[in-house]
Structure 1
Amino acid sequence: MTGHDAGDLARRLAANAEAVCRRYLSAGRRHGNYWLVGDVRNAPGRSLFVRLHDTANGRAGKWTDAQSGEHGDLLDVIGESLGLVDFRDVADEARAFLSLPRPDPIPSSQDRPARKLGSASSSEAARRLWAMSGPITGTLVETYLRRRDMTLLHGTGALRFHLGCYYRPDEHSPTKSWPAMIAGVTDLEGRVTGVHRTWLACDGRGKAPVEMPRRAMGDLLGHAVRFGAASDVLAAGEGIETVLSLHDVMPALPLAACLSSAHLAAMVFPPALRRLYVLRDDDPAGDHAVMTLQDRTQEAGIECLVLSPRLADFNDDLRYLGRGAMRAILHPQLAPQDVARFLQPVAH
């Protein structure tokens, strides 16, 4: 594409996210910072949510369907809602909505379809990146986690370090490399199906100064970044750091970070699971994930309990309130038998 390329179109649409939703997802409605609708094809309901403004959790225009696990940007919304197959038609419709001129014709070899995630090639690339990464001991990953008050790092084999992981904001930008924390996404048998990358500053004291310092790749739906072997009890949440914060005060509790609310809602239950703790994120997507899991666990005969932090998330509780306060926050939310089993003081 020449002129206004796909990345530019997506950014322009994101700047007008609510207007795009009102046009192409008219069966939905606004709820806070989100547009809620049934699916990307504009069915009634509340499964799909579109972020209307940039937040700490993501960029405007990004959407996720908590039921199907699909996700994308507003170009995908236009294409799917109108049933457009050719990306050129999607781009033309986006330009018409934005009142932009059409570009000069280009050879068909330069046309490109809408992006499809979770393909076999993406999973294979994820496995290669995982194999190229090494242990976190003594690396910037350890520095980064300790800066966030996560100091109990044994049992974190799902995390690895890559000294120079490639980063590119979009396909039209130059590629750079940054050190990165690589988290392995696995199925219940322990097979790596994807990875999650967190690019780090060169001193490890925070994330890299890039537009999107966190990205996942590979087959993610139903799978998770896992800490500890699955048993009859499991705690699951979205973010790696949120989930890993529980490890500091409940090191024997098996944990799963599913990376998004949609993937949390769609997680596959271990066969022996009898009680699931859900780490709740305070937003519509997090609420939907909790409700979905409550329905699914009830059907499966699994007890479902919700764990809520006092601050924004459990890493904030750990950093700003401390381990003692975090144990006090968790104690009344746990099943009585799990207090003695998992919530023991930990010597650091």
Structure 2
Amino acid sequence: MPRDASELSRRLARHAEAVCRHYLSNGRRRGRYWTVGDVRNTPGRSMFVRLSGPESGPGAAGHWTDAASAEYGDLLDIIRESCGLIDFRDVADEARRFLAMPGPQAQSHGAQCQPATARGSPDAARRLFAMSQPIAGTLAERYLADRGILLSAQERALRFHSGCYYRDLETGEMRTLPALIVAVTSLDGRITGLQRTWLDASGSGKAPIADPRRSLGLLLGNAIWLGLQPSTPVPVMAAGEGFETMASLRTVMPTLPVAAATSANHLGGLIFPPDCRRLYIAADADAAGRHGIERLSQRAGESGILALVLRPQLGDFNDDLRHLGPAHLAASLSDQLVPEDARLFLPRG
């Protein structure tokens, strides 16, 4: 085990309930335990996380058991699985960000070697993005079009990789599949991570695998940005959990900057542009992302930003776009936007 794992685990145990509320937002407190469907934040009640107890050893706070799968572990395992991380370095970085701890200090002993790019690191994300191609004419463009999503060729966050590695987390089997690659960036446009959506080679949708969408890299505070130009003021924007939700809004409001935080957990920690004064938060019809929305709304208010929630008529805004059509979606949004924003961002038909 990496030598700082036990120390991180102990520090996380002191804030066990806060960790659960952040990374297992689909669960709830029941007495001395946090209950949720599984370690990947699925709604349900089969997994129990102990919220009180010693910092380590038997009965420690943060230790959990899934009665359905017989899995067990500690809070570092929760961070790894709920965020879709693989390497311990990325898990530790995420834990330190949650705890607001500094990273380990590098020792200086003369000349230093450059480490190989860590799998799952921001460098790995930038390398994979550079190895991918623009989506025009590719399976990725066809996939998005089938979802009703039509984005400008100027959207530089989107790429396609014809043979992106996929590892089955249960069997360890590696295979290559075509994938839509979407960059996660900081406000200055630097790629810090990415999201991969593996696609069926027939073009009929996502690949038939257990988890066809995974993210990697430095995600907290950053987002999949569409329409953001670094150093350009962003007084009005929209943010939400999923890429396809936000891309659907961008399809009918092509001049509105939008941010997809990749998960409900990361939505609450989104960093705002410094000049933002109005924030629209895209909700889904279910309650899965409610905690992220509430946290983001609270942080926006504390920053002097007016936060307004946009609600779909069906399950999410991509459902609205595909089943009701872009004109119907635009009309529904017009009723929810501030009038001056409706005039500015919704095309007049």
Q: Give me the TM-score of the superposition, normalised by structure 1.
A: 0.71
Structure 1 residues 40-79: aligned runs within 5 Å: 51-52=36-37, 60-63=38-41, 77=49
Deviations 1:26-56 (A, max 9, x none): xx99xxx942149xxx988xxxx8642xxxx
* Structure 2 unaligned residues grouped into runs of 5+: 1-15, 72-86, 95-116
Distance 1:133 1:335, change over 3 A: same
Matched residue, 1:325:
328
Deviations 1:57-85 (A, max 9, x none): xxx43239xxxxxxxx969x579976448
Q: Which amino acid aligns with 2:330?
A: R
Matched residue, 1:255:
258
Distance 1:130 1:151, change over 3 A: same
Q: Which amino acid aligns with 1:279?
A: A
Q: 1:286 deviation in Å?
A: 1.7
Distance 1:183 1:338, change over 3 A: same
Matched residue, 2:91:
116
Distance 1:136 1:189, change over 3 A: same
Q: Distance between the aligned counterparts of 1:306 and 1:280, measured in 2?
A: 7
Distance 1:36 1:324, change over 3 A: same
Matched residue, 1:179:
178
User: Is the 1:155–1:227 Cα contact (8 Å) retained in structure 2?
Assistant: no
Q: Distance between the aligned counterparts of 1:232 and 1:270, measured in 2?
A: 8
Report which stretch shifted further, 225-234 or 252-261.
225-234
Matched residue, 2:196:
197
- Residue 188 of structure 2 aligns to a residue whose secondary structure is coil
Q: Which amino acid aligns with 1:144?
A: Y
Q: 1:165 deviation in Å?
A: 0.3
Structure 1 residues 218-297: aligned runs within 5 Å: 218-229=217-228, 231-297=234-300
User: Is the 1:62–1:74 Cα contact (8 Å) retained in structure 2?
Assistant: no
Report which stretch shifted further, 121-130 or 218-227.
121-130
Q: Distance between the aligned counterparts of 2:150 and 2:137, measured in 1?
A: 13
Deviations 1:238-270 (A, max 9, x none): 111110001111000001010111111110010
User: Is the 2:32–2:50 Cα contact (8 Å) retained in structure 1?
Assistant: no
User: Is the 1:280–1:286 Cα contact (8 Å) retained in structure 2?
Assistant: yes
Q: Which amino acid aligns with 1:337?
A: E
Q: 1:331 deviation in Å?
A: 0.6
Distance 1:337 1:35, change over 3 A: same
Matched residue, 2:28:
36
Q: Distance between the aligned counterparts of 1:327 and 1:93, measured in 2?
A: 45
Sequence identity (%): 43
Q: 1:283 deviation in Å?
A: 3.5
User: Is the 2:179–2:198 Cα contact (8 Å) retained in structure 1?
Assistant: yes
Q: 1:237 deviation in Å?
A: 0.6
Q: Distance between the aligned counterparts of 1:51 and 1:234, measured in 2?
A: 32
Q: 1:323 deviation in Å?
A: 1.0
Structure 1 residues 101-112: aligned runs within 5 Å: none
Q: 1:271 deviation in Å?
A: 0.5
Structure 1 residues 155-170: aligned runs within 5 Å: 155-170=154-169
User: Is the 1:194–1:220 Cα contact (8 Å) retained in structure 2?
Assistant: yes
Q: 1:205 deviation in Å?
A: 2.0
Deviations 1:280-311 (A, max 9, x none): 12344422222212211111111111100000
Q: Distance between the aligned counterparts of 1:250 and 1:199, measured in 2?
A: 27
Q: 1:123 deviation in Å?
A: 1.7
Q: Which amino acid aligns with 1:63?
A: N
Q: Give me the TM-score of the superposition, normalised by structure 2.
A: 0.70
Q: 1:204 deviation in Å?
A: 2.2
Q: Which amino acid aligns with 1:263?
A: H
Distance 1:171 1:84, change over 3 A: farther
Distance 1:152 1:283, change over 3 A: same
- Residue 252 of structure 2 aligns to a residue whose secondary structure is coil
Q: Distance between the aligned counterparts of 1:98 and 1:140, measured in 2?
A: 36
Structure 1 residues 296-307: aligned runs within 5 Å: 296-307=299-310
Q: Which amino acid aligns with 2:129?
A: W
Q: Distance between the aligned counterparts of 1:270 and 1:168, measured in 2?
A: 35
Deviations 1:102-136 (A, max 9, x none): xxxxxxxxxx9798265783222111111111100
User: Is the 1:118–1:218 Cα contact (8 Å) retained in structure 2?
Assistant: no
Matched residue, 1:4:
none
The number of aligned residues is 281
User: Is the 2:236–2:276 Cα contact (8 Å) retained in structure 1?
Assistant: yes
Q: Which amino acid aligns with 2:266?
A: H
Q: Distance between the aligned counterparts of 1:337 and 1:259, measured in 2?
A: 29
User: Is the 2:36–2:47 Cα contact (8 Å) retained in structure 1?
Assistant: no
Q: Distance between the aligned counterparts of 1:176 and 1:99, measured in 2?
A: 27
Q: 1:217 deviation in Å?
A: 0.5
Q: Which amino acid aligns with 1:178?
A: L
Q: Distance between the aligned counterparts of 1:143 and 1:98, measured in 2?
A: 37
Distance 1:98 1:239, change over 3 A: closer
